[in-house]
Amino acid sequence: MLFRSDLIALVALYRPGPLGSGMVDEYIQGKNNKSSSSGSKSTGSLAKLGLPKLDEILRETHGIILYQEQVMEIAHKMANFSLAQADILRKAMGGKNPEEMEKMKNIFIRGLKANKVSEKKAATLYNLILQFAQYGFNKSHSAAYALIAYQTAYLKAHYPVEFMAASLSADMDNTAKVVIFINECKEMGIKILPPDINESTREFKVTGNSIRFGLEAVKGVGSSAIDAIVETGREKKFSSFSDFCLRADSRRVNKKVIESLIKAGAMDSMGKRAQLMEALPDVMEAAVRYQKQISIGQESMFGDINEAPAERLPIIEEWNESELLAMEKEALGFYITGHPLNKYKDILDKLNVIPTTELLELQDRQEVNMGGIVRGVKKIQTKKTGDLMAYLTLEDMYSTIEVIAFPDVYQEAQDLITQDKPVLIAGYLDKTDKGTKVIAKQIVSIEESSRLKKQNSARKPRSKNNGRSVRSKQTPDSPATANKSLTLTMFNDTKPETLPKLEKIFSKYSGDYRVYLKIISPKNWETILLTNRHVLPSEEMLAEVEELLGKERVRLNGSYELGITNYENKEF
């Protein structure tokens, strides 16, 4: 049963708050101490209080307050709270209600003193509970999620094809998730078969060790059309393109539906896509006329019901690969039989280009090379100079990633990123609670790949550091200085006296590196401003900034980014 407790705890721990607060490390340390032969006890901050009843309550989580229910249990068993009062305390801590928390603090301390705990220890315990409670998770929720995680993991391990088919069907209206699942199927050795008018059903279907694409995932093909196709095909498989158009109910399976099916490759068994698309108007017209005659029982002049018109497909060349893939993506939302980047695979491998699906495994500020097609461009003006910069949506063979191009980079590459052609991007990762982005340092066309520096650091074999890759340290002589910019990441509660002190430091170390401000607000917005300051990063300058802000407040990377928490809406 121990693995269940660990799985429940894992769900509660694997969240931004606990990961960033050190709770995970404390949990692991406590678990290792408990299982070691020496029988060492937990050495965490709560264990140091030396309260046996507290240790008993926190035994299952190895000395940390992980669940909201533990807060209630401590208040109930140690401070004489009723369960109703304990729940009020939990809500006050979860909602960060300072007045209610202060009121509860006095009651909590009195209750502990009544149980022969000193006032100092009682106050310390309450403050520690406050610290842990902001990351606390509801155990009943965690247990439910853990059970689902265990069940789905079992199904994925023992019935992988069926599990992945069900996952694809559950999210077939979410293109991003379908792409992720399809790539995972490829990694698992499960073949994804394209949609087929005779083989596909509404949802994704298991076929041996393969998965057949579901018709509902084809854009422009509605439920009514799918029902008509499946019902008619169940009686007898469609033998040709004309047979399909004649037998499928033209009121539900109209011209636009058939165009989508052709583009998606669902009718490849009946002819080339270009042929079918060219023949569609005439075949549909004949099919509609034939269905109308059948429905009214119209006979020919010889007394026989009209015969079905013969199929005559035009003899024309198939679309080229680019057209085929473009049509496929239009109908499905992604590529399935190929990808525009396939022809550049050797170039991408040579440059150690990182797939978007691997970015989450890399460290913040890690330098990367990306290859893909720009699918979206959002231009904005910097507030100081009015220079244009852009947020790009880059699509590779696996998924998409947002790329930020500052004015210097955007100005050089603006012609490239409007052509909807493959590009290469050198940059570094910017990982925040809101997700992962890439800050571009250089953007070139794939034909100019020789201009892009090969990145060696991003895809090194995993180290022995618990399986995680370790980020190499940057130096002032790193090639990352090519962007010549210093970005300060700030939050919105900086002390007013901090900014003038930073200004003094910058004035001492003037240079040609532009200073940007990336401002992040807890109210779910962020913006980037260009200041009129130019500096030259150096060890001395960084040391002074560290002295002002603390070592944990300064981060160095390829373009010398300093992470500064705290910011009030002021300008240098």
Of 321, 328, 327, 391, give the one whose Cα is nearest residue 182: 328
The CA distance from 95 to 458, in Å, is 41
Taking the CA atoms of 501, 506, 507 and 509 in sequence, report the sign of the dihedral they define. Answer: positive
Give, in degrees to the nearest 5, the angle at Cα 390 between 430 and 349: 60
* CA distance to 7, 70, 182, 457, 527, per residue, from 186 (Å): 28, 43, 6, 26, 38
471: helix, strand or coil: coil
Question: What pLDDT shows up at residue 109?
Answer: 92
Across the range 328-337, mean pLDDT stands at 87
370's tokens = 């990306």
* CA distance to 121, 169, 174, 213, 551, per residue, from 162 (Å): 56, 11, 19, 13, 51
4: helix, strand or coil: helix
The CA distance from 105 to 112, in Å, is 11
Question: What pLDDT shows up at residue 509?
Answer: 75
Where are the alpha helices (H) located in 197-320, listed in sequence order?
Answer: 223-235, 241-247, 255-264, 273-296
The rounded mean pLDDT for the chain is 80
Q: What is the pLDDT of residues 426-455, one digit of tens each?
A: 999 998 877 899 999 999 998 888 877 655
Give, in degrees to the nearest 5, the angle at Cα 80 between 78 and 86: 90
* CA distance to 49, 75, 76, 81, per residue, from 86 (Å): 21, 6, 6, 6
pLDDT exceeds cutoff 50 at 471: no
Q: What is the pLDDT of residues 509-545, one digit of tens each?
A: 776 677 766 665 554 455 566 666 777 777 777 778 7
pLDDT exceeds cutoff 80 at 479: no
347's tokens = 């170039």
Question: What pLDDT shows up at residue 517?
Answer: 64
Burial of 160 (0-12, 13-18, 19+ CB in 10 A): middle
pLDDT exceeds cutoff 90 at 567: no
Please report how many Cα atoms fall inside a 13 Å half-sphere around the Cα of residue 407, on the Cβ side: 18
Question: What pLDDT shows up at residue 3?
Answer: 57
Q: What is the pLDDT of residues 87-139, one digit of tens each?
A: 888 888 777 677 788 888 889 999 999 999 999 999 989 888 887 777 778 89
